[in-house]
Amino acid sequence: MAASGDSPTVDLANLATVMLTRIPETGAWFDSFVEPGVPRDFGWDDVDFDAYQFVMEVFTDPVFIPAVRQAPGAPELLDRCASLVEAMVTSSSDLVRDVVWFDVLEPLLADVRLIRDFRPVAGPETSRELAKLIQAHGVTGID
Question: How far is residue 98's CA from residue 77's CA, in Å, rounded to a whole number?
Answer: 23
Phi-psi label, residue 37: left if phi above 0, alpha if psi -120 to 50, beta otherwise: left
Residue 48 structural domain = 7-137
The reply to whether 43 falls in a domain is yes
Q: For residue 92, is it within any domain?
A: yes
Q: What is the percentage of the chain residues whose pLDDT exceeds 70?
A: 94
| Total count of domains within the chain | 1
What confidence score (pLDDT) does residue 72 get? 79
The pLDDT value given to residue 6 = 53
pLDDT at 142: 82
Task: Decide: 75 and 102 in contact? Cβ < 8 Å.
Answer: no
Question: Is the residue at 107 inside a domain?
Answer: yes
CA distances from 63 to 10, 33, 132, 137 (A): 18, 14, 24, 24
Examine residue 1 and state whether it is found in any structural domain, yes or no: no
Residue 25: inside a domain, yes or no?
A: yes
Q: What is the pTM of this model?
A: 0.91
Determine, yes or no, domain membership for 2: no
pLDDT of residue 73: 76
Give the dihedral sign, CA 71/72/76/80: positive
In a domain, 89, yes or no: yes
In a domain, 70, yes or no: yes
* Whole-number percent of the chain with pLDDT over 90: 78
